Amino acid sequence: MNIIVNGEPRQVTAPDLAGALAELGYGGARVATAVNGAFVPAGARAGQALAEGDRVEVLAPRQGG
């Protein structure tokens, strides 16, 4: 299915956010995620179904000051 990840079109086969993150190389990374503007906590990613055209945001924490 086609989704938008951080503003870029991407193709994934996973039906849920957790699987899509693994496909996209974020498997074990500590990141914050949102689908269509709604925050999705790490524990809820496997239950967050994705649909064609969904907008996914993946944000990595920054260090420093």
Determine the Cα–Cα distance for residues 22 and 9; give it in Å rounded to an integer: 16
pLDDT tens, per residue, the chain with 65 residues = 999 999 999 999 999 999 999 999 998 889 999 999 999 999 999 999 999 999 999 998 876 66
pLDDT at 37: 98
Q: Is residue 15 assigned to a domain?
A: yes
Burial 43-57 (b: 16+ CB within 10 A, else e): eebeebebeeebebb
**Could you tell me if residue 50 is inside a domain?**
yes
CATH number, residue 13? 3.10.20.30
* pLDDT for res 65: 60
Helix, strand, coil content of the chain in percent (nearest 5)? 20, 35, 45
- Residue 65, domain member (yes or no): no
Total tally of structural domains belonging to the chain: 1
Q: Which three-class secondary structure state does DSSP give residue 10? A: strand
- Please give the full DSSP string across 38-53, using - where no structure is assigned: EEE-GGGGGG-B--TT
Range of the domain at 37: 2-59
Q: Is residue 25 part of a domain?
A: yes
